[in-house]
A and B are shown apart, each in its own frame.
Chain A
């Protein structure tokens, strides 16, 4: 009975977790890092204790000691663990040396889940080893136990987010050069996250958590942080899984379905919060986050495959109504552009409808600025991504496949932001003038939408450019719309046979 139960439990464990943890236990690397970390923590705490004067006069000794230990812990968990996880997965996925694990029948969701779970287990191990030292700081005064655990919990949440980010980057199908570039950008983000988390930890400890633990002033922001972290983790997880799936699979469906569900959930949640709190901040955040996500979705969409394989096409519904809905959620470049465009329009429409129907929200106001960004960002993204598509299809066709169109788009975006400004600086205004004065040189910069006197100009230019880009890519869109229909069975073509008796 016991063996049967243990056997079932053993079978239910993700194979990746079993492998990764076995390697971690049997190898020297993780154990060495853990011991080194403990030694550093011990030395740091020891030095802090012997270097201090009279502890009875130092009311913040505990907090200071905790921050030293927390910085060391975060350096390991926010920089080392995600980088280690991402690098290992990227190596296993490299073009020249794909790990044979990827030709087993294990599902991509189990691979991503297993990788993240085993890394989180190592993180828990590191946190557990460090926690006694960190809790010890309570006796040095200036810090309370709830603050210690809340700050550690926040740090763990950050590690979970960055682990998913590292996994996501490792899963991006790209060549070695692009992978190294992405890894470099990710390291910058990890370092940025490290600095931000250290700052947030210090801020939390300075203001103290214990006294606010039973009030909304703590649980309000805490809930927002938890929801944001959960949505970010979910998005990175589903996208990572999608990238591990075969190209022939309907990769876009789970990602778009997840984002759509989160968009709707976010709308309902922020509308309720705004209504109860009589403050439209939550709705504004929802609108901006939605605009950013759907703007990014345009760049992803133009990098998707342009013709669908048998596997996807045979799942296209025959019913025209269902087919129209399926078109928005199935893999494909045109489908992605249509979905991102529809969701962008729905975001603006939902916000406008809420403001029109709810007198409370209308009275609070404050969403005019947000709406400019909600309209402008997707328009610029649509214009840039479709322009990149045009360039890739007509100028770079021989050298580049669809999957790198996003790169062309980002280069164009960077060029659009920097080049006109530099020309203006060198040829005309010649010094760092106020943005209100040089706004005309920022017309291709979507991040300048906040310049008050140029808002209408920017929106007009972004809209016009998006329409032109849409018109010149109309054939690309229509071809895919027309070919989005169920197909019959595969035509059978014979191959030369090698016939003989068995050996």
Chain B
């Protein structure tokens, strides 16, 4: 299963909500879809879910075009919007039963599927409650359950963690991990980047409808944060160590905070190893030499400008 977004464009009048975006990912991956408000994330996701037609370009789900064959694409994709649409006078059970019927799940299998999804998303205790009586977290669970009813290989989740309490967020994260482990391809957007970084194997960053970066987390780090920050702790001679570091090639900056020195090294992991070897050769007794990884937040802040259309 491959998900390919090809030169996607979506204009609303003069506003270019999505402007020539291309990226692709495969089954088993969780890809974060990141961008400031109004960047075009929801629009792109709605195109992938066949809710919107692109102005130009296409998206392929395992070779099935969402533009040309939306009916086929709908079998492959589960879409979880940022909020559960309201349905009057419907219980959770009726809601899931309706969508299971709409997806053509018939007979005893329908009950089995609904039961297993309710168990997976922990909805068993609220199945008779009406939708409008549910909390935000419960609504998100119902929304996820609905998106999973037809067992789609691709899952599109638009801001699933928005408005959730810490426990619900942790549970959602575990659900997403479990889905990826089942081999589903997950595209997930969120503003809570620290949490996104924990579950994503890659990320797509967009702003003002344009693609800024796309790749695995390592690739993004390498491209957007070329310097490596290492944290160094020695048993003694910290002041000398700081001076020595500042004289070494590739070390751009070094700062001492307490007994720890943070050094920015412009180079690969081999260069870091050379720096460590050099320090030891000069007689410094190093007890800690740790690579401080930049997070998705760092990357996001570096590549985006914060401008809106």
Contact = CB atoms under 8 A, between A and B. Distances in A.
Contacts of B94: 19, 22, 26
B4 interface: yes
Interface string B96-111: 0111011110111000
B180 A103 contact: no
Interface stretch (A93-101, A324-332, A422-430): A93-101
A248 B102 contact: no
B89 A27 contact: yes
Contacts of B200: 503
Q: Interface range on chain A: under 10, 10 to 19, 20 to 34, or 35 or more?
A: 35 or more
Given A19-B98, A103-B50, A11 B107 contact: yes
Residue among A23, A27, A310, A500 with max Cβ neighbours from chain B (10 Å): A500
Interface stretch (B70-78, B160-168, B231-239, B244-252): B70-78
Given A104-B74, A500-B201, A23 B87 contact: yes
Interface in B6-61: 6-7, 22-26, 28-31, 49-51, 53
A247 B53 contact: yes
B6 A105 contact: no
A496 B23 contact: yes
Contacts of A502: 28-29, 180-181, 183, 201
Nearest to B179: A503
A497 interface: yes
Interface in A102-153: 102-107
A58 interface: no
A498 B30 CA distance: 10
A498 B49 contact: no
Nearest to A106: B102
A19 B94 CA distance: 8
Contacts of A494: 24
Contacts of A309: 67-68
A433 interface: no
A247 B101 CA distance: 25
B209 interface: no
Interface string B203-239: 1100000000011111000000000000000000000
Contact of B24 (A19, A27, A495): A495
A224 to B, nearest CB: 39
Contact of B201 (A99, A101, A311, A501): A501
A498 B51 contact: no
Contacts of A498: 23-26, 29, 31, 201-204, 214-216
A493 interface: yes
Nearest to A497: B24
B24 A18 contact: no
A496 B177 contact: no
A191 to B, nearest CB: 27
Nearest to B97: A18
Contact of B6 (A493, A497, A501): A493
B300 interface: no
Q: Interface range on chain B: under 10, 10 to 19, 20 to 34, or 35 or more?
A: 35 or more
B150 interface: yes
B25 A310 contact: no
B126 interface: no
Contacts of B201: 498, 500-503
Contact of B90 (A22, A247, A501): A22
Nearest to A246: B70
Residue among A23, A98, A495 with max Cβ neighbours from chain B (10 Å): A495
Given A105-B74, A498-B204, A15 B102 contact: yes
B223 to A, nearest CB: 12
A499 interface: yes
B171 interface: no
B141 interface: no
Nearest to B186: A503
B199 interface: yes
Contacts of A7: 107-108
A311 B73 CA distance: 13
Contacts of A11: 106-107
Given A105-B71, A105-B74, A105-B104, A503 B180 contact: yes
Nearest to A95: B52
A500 B70 contact: no
B139 interface: no
Given A105-B103, A105-B150, A496 B24 contact: yes
B87 A248 contact: no
A107 B24 CA distance: 29
A493 B7 contact: yes
A495 B23 contact: yes
B23 A99 contact: no
Given A7-B107, A105-B74, A498-B25, A23 B199 contact: no
Contacts of B5: 495
Contacts of B302: none
Contacts of B4: 495
A500 B216 contact: yes
Interface string A8-32: 1001000100110011001100000
B89 to A, nearest CB: 4
A19 B98 CA distance: 6
A173 to B, nearest CB: 10
Nearest to B90: A23
Contacts of A107: 71
27 contacts: A8-B107, A15-B98, A18-B97, A19-B90, A22-B90, A26-B94, A100-B146, A103-B49, A103-B74, A104-B102, A104-B103, A105-B74, A105-B75, A107-B71, A247-B53, A311-B68, A494-B24, A497-B24, A497-B25, A498-B23, A498-B204, A499-B26, A499-B202, A500-B201, A500-B202, A502-B180, A503-B29
Interface of A: 7-8, 11, 15, 18-19, 22-23, 26-27, 97-107, 246-248, 309-311, 490, 493-503
Interface of B: 4-7, 22-26, 28-31, 49-51, 53, 65, 67-71, 74-75, 77, 79, 81, 85, 87-90, 94, 97-99, 101-104, 106-108, 146, 150, 177, 180-181, 183, 199-204, 214-218
Given A11-B106, A18-B98, A500-B216, 17 more contacts: A98-B51, A101-B102, A103-B50, A104-B102, A105-B104, A106-B102, A106-B103, A246-B50, A248-B67, A248-B69, A309-B68, A494-B24, A495-B4, A496-B24, A498-B215, A502-B180, A503-B28
